[in-house]
Chain A
């Protein structure tokens, strides 16, 4: 418990939209030094990018429900698109459907953030708080990677391979 308190107190606070104040490597190394092996294994297992978490354990159940809801909605949106009908989503807010891909991704991340907020509510200095911290840090890291200039270059390099070769040569 004291290690958890120490870990959580030593970590910088996170808010949606900011640049990650700590790298994932730094966080993992801090957590590894402070958590016991069992808790660290749980921390390592949870990953916002890999939503295959399917746990019945109390502390992971809420994460599992969040991931399942998101996966089902994404799947429904894709099916509806191929079947040319309006999707019936349950977890995600319906407003995301009318937005452009960037706004939609931002809204999904914001929704995930808010879900994580509700998961950690009242769980101060518990493993859940550490798990939420990791997921939030992953969200911030991903958000930070969104960049119009880089995105344009990536689009151009896929569409125009000659340009891609030119850029590689310049690098």
Chain B
């Protein structure tokens, strides 16, 4: 409120009351939004953790046979690559984000002379790449939700620390000033009345 000049009028008091009313109504909404965003971010983070565990599980499962991937006959890199990550826009906690759908792969067909292990490796890599793409989408979602959370938190702080206390203070000050003015008017009127009565008596 510092630096802001208050107009000590009834109109201004009414305006400040309206600001206070709106602010008190908006604050719980923003607080709920903040909670919802935090809960959503936490849930996405948990989801990422679950996917990471699945990736690790797949890696562990493949450990007994991963040695074949260094086969001098095969360059497994040439058998699989990501063509496109398909996503769909959805609203999460009021924020538009991209939800993971699937991954389109470029898979080179295996020939008669391609070792059998390549089939298993391609399947494993497809699964892992799919999970990694899902993590990337979820991380992007968290980024967007965190940006929104920062904005919402700023608004909550604005209402809690500035708008509501400022409006309350302005209403109080205007009220005091208006009361003082009223008292002064009444006192002045009484003085005038007494003086007039004394003049009439003398």
Chain B residues within 8 Å of A119, by CB: none
**A159 is contacted by which of B73, B112, B117, B132 (Cβ under 8 Å)?**
B132
Q: A78-B110, A104-B117, A105-B117 are contacts. A142–B72 as well, Cβ < 8 Å? A: yes
Are A101 and B112 in contact, CB atoms less than 8 angstroms apart? no
Complex alpha-carbon distance, A101 and B128, angstroms: 17
Q: How far is the CB of B70 from chain A (nearest CB, A)?
A: 4
Are A146 and B68 in contact, CB atoms less than 8 angstroms apart? yes
Cβ of B120 within 8 Å of any chain A Cβ, yes or no, is yes
Cβ of A55 within 8 Å of any chain B Cβ, yes or no, is no
Complex: chain A residue closest to B131, CB-CB: A159
Complex alpha-carbon distance, A19 and B125, angstroms: 29
Complex alpha-carbon distance, A81 and B117, angstroms: 13
The SS class assigned to the B binding surface is helix
The number of residues on chain A lying at the interface, defined by a beta carbon within 8 Å of a beta carbon of chain B, is 32
Cβ of A77 within 8 Å of any chain B Cβ, yes or no, is yes
Complex alpha-carbon distance, A154 and B69, angstroms: 7
By a beta-carbon cutoff of 8 Å, the part of chain B in contact with chain A is: 55, 59, 62-73, 76-77, 80, 110, 112-113, 115-117, 119-121, 124-125, 128-129, 132
11 cross-chain CB contacts under 8 A: A50-B113, A100-B64, A102-B64, A104-B116, A108-B115, A142-B71, A151-B67, A152-B69, A154-B77, A155-B62, A155-B124
